[in-house]
A = this chain, B = another copy of it.
Amino acid sequence: MLSMEPRYRLVISCPDRVGIVAMVSSFISSHGGSITEANQHSESATGWFFMRYEISARNLAFSVDELRESFASIAQSFKMSWHLSDSSKPKRVLLMASKQSHCLADLLYRYNSQELDCEIPCVISNHDDLRSMVEWHGIPYHHVPVDSADKQSAFDRVVELVEQNQIDTIVLARYMQILPPELCLRYASQVINIHHSFLPSFAGAKPYHQAHERGVKLIGATCHYVTEELDAGPIIDQDVIRITHNDSADDMVRLGRDAEKSVLARGLRWHLEDRILVHGNKTVVFS
């Protein structure tokens, strides 16, 4: 369900110390802001503090830009990493897929039924198979083939489309190509991938076949931010499905699709609502 009225989301991480909450909450209430949802986390091992406030913009005396400006000095004094987003300006999401349609179809369905609070300006695929499905949803489809002899030109085209469409978030919905390192760096913590195993088990190619070979009794899916190292970025969410000796590798592929779909949709939803804070190679998820 989309939120009824505009809200601001203030997301902060900084070294922990006495008085952060008092300072931030006083700042907001003193300007008439009402906190509709609050999450905090103090990590004793690292001495780090994380917080997310959802603030009703109704009675706030400020625009989002004014709020940003006046909060900046508080932020500086506490050495905060922070950002403030406006729920009335949903993130712009690029979906990238290959031939397999299950994750893409699931996200498009949720988008269409207003379950995901975002804009999807376009879809990119290295194959042309899913065009009709995407276009039925009224979304432009870009076929950007990846030539193994010249991957660079394909990814140049991807970057071009990302820039043209003012993309905030890239979702690899079973996009079977590995992004080049410079793209991973450029869009750090903005590219979400779904991997079809419970990482760190079975990273890389054909994880269901690896799982079948090993004889595990649970298969899984992992949603994570993409980093330069393959399948090793900060984990957002994971889930598993119980299997038996009766399930072939092909059965696992089929059963696993349901886990992939739900884990990716959940992770993306949290990302769109600014609920995920990356710290080092781990995430704080205020779900």
> Which residues does A use to contact B, with CB under 8 Å?
1, 18-19, 21-22, 25-26, 28-30, 32-38, 40-45, 59, 101-102, 105, 109, 113, 115, 136, 198-202, 214-218, 220, 234-240, 244-246, 248, 250-251, 254, 258, 262, 281-285, 287
Contacts and interface: CB of A to CB of B under 8 A. Distances in A.
Nearest to A262: B258
A105 to B, nearest CB: 6
B200 A214 contact: yes
A29 B33 contact: no
Given A101-B113, A201-B198, A250 B1 contact: yes
A31 to B, nearest CB: 10
Contacts of A45: 248
A11 B187 CA distance: 42
A217 B245 contact: no
A29 B25 contact: no
Contact of A25 (B22, B30, B37): B22
A18 B29 contact: yes
Given A18-B32, A198-B198, 8 more contacts: A18-B34, A21-B29, A22-B26, A115-B254, A136-B136, A198-B218, A214-B235, A244-B287
A45 B252 CA distance: 14
30 contacts: A18-B32, A18-B34, A19-B29, A21-B25, A21-B29, A22-B25, A22-B26, A22-B29, A22-B30, A25-B25, A35-B42, A36-B42, A37-B40, A38-B38, A102-B113, A115-B254, A136-B136, A198-B201, A198-B216, A199-B201, A200-B216, A215-B234, A215-B283, A217-B285, A218-B238, A240-B240, A244-B287, A245-B283, A245-B284, A245-B285
